Amino acid sequence: MHSDHPHRGIGFALAAALSFAGVGATVKIASGSLSNEMIVFLRNLFGLLALFPWLYHTGISTLATRRFTHHLVRTLFGLAAMYCFFYAIARLQLAEAVLFNFSAPLFIPIIALVWLGERVPRQLGAAIVAGFLGISLILKPGFGLFSDAAVIGLASGIFAAIAMVSIRRLSDTEPTSRIVFYFAMICTVVSAIPLIWGWQTPALGALAIMAVGGALATVGQLFLTHSYALAPAAQIGPYTYATVIFAAAIGWAIWGEVPDRFTILGAILVCIAGILALRLGQKRGEAKPITVHE
């Protein structure tokens, strides 16, 4: 159930979008001195630490679950999305990497068709085709600009879509807050494993940057969760795409990144198609989208 405060809900959704764009900026800055493995681990560690005040307020009794295996499967796909997303951020323009990650809603109906046997409505199919056209414009394979980083960035959207579909199997018994906690906890533990052979001692500045990134990720997810409590998901979902606009502004302000006309056109198509996919999916009762920024 949600209360009817759409303007407040939209405000929190935009604040979440700005927070997630900030996470991308901290990752891009830290990538100049840290490996992808270190960045993923530190983002998860600080994100988990940022949850502790919330845990103190709500109590640990709210975390009891009988579906740990489902949380584990959902988290592993989300973590794979994060590794791909952060790799792309380090090598692409910030807005491009975010766009690939936000292509996830376009893949959800296809994954749901294969995994859950759900039929894809005609209107949703049209949105998916438009979205894939936008992705092709951003990838620009016919212009010799096709890059490994772009493919891996697109993979982040695919993995995120699988994670979102798996949330449907959790959301019937698990509240969003519990899903967020187990995501943060399992991600921190699993992302520590590669550090056994790939540990880097981070400089104090890089550590501080990732502390900000982890805190922003947690705050953004809590803002997004609260926004869905204030207004219907179909109203809130489209505003999450403001992350792309904020990321483009940050990329221009810090790194002087200016997208070409093909990327701009592709971005418009991907955002419109993604918003339509979200709205149509939420009207059909799908789970609220939870991003890999959790």
| Beta carbons of 159 and 269 less than 8 angstroms apart | no
pTM to 2 decimal places: 0.90
In the chain, pLDDT over 70 holds for what percent of residues? 89
| pLDDT digits 0-9 by tens, 72-105 | 988 999 999 999 999 999 999 999 999 999 888 8
pLDDT for position 142: 56
Name, of 42-46, 102-106, 116-120, 220-224, the range with top average pLDDT.
42-46
Per-residue pLDDT band for 228 (boundaries 50, 70, 90) equals: confident
202 and 38 in contact (C-beta within 8 Å)?
Answer: yes
* The two three-digit tokens of residue 49, written as one number: 């630490």
- Contact status, residue 277 vs residue 157, Cβ threshold 8 Å: no
Fill in the DSSP letter of residue 1.
-
User: Average pLDDT, stretch 171-186?
Assistant: 82
Domain ranges of the chain: 6-283
Would you state the torsion angle of the CA atoms of residues 194, 197, 198, 202, taken in this order, to the nearest 10 degrees? 110
In this prediction, residue 240 carries a pLDDT of 87
Half-sphere exposure of residue 246, counting CA atoms within 13 Å on the CB side? 18
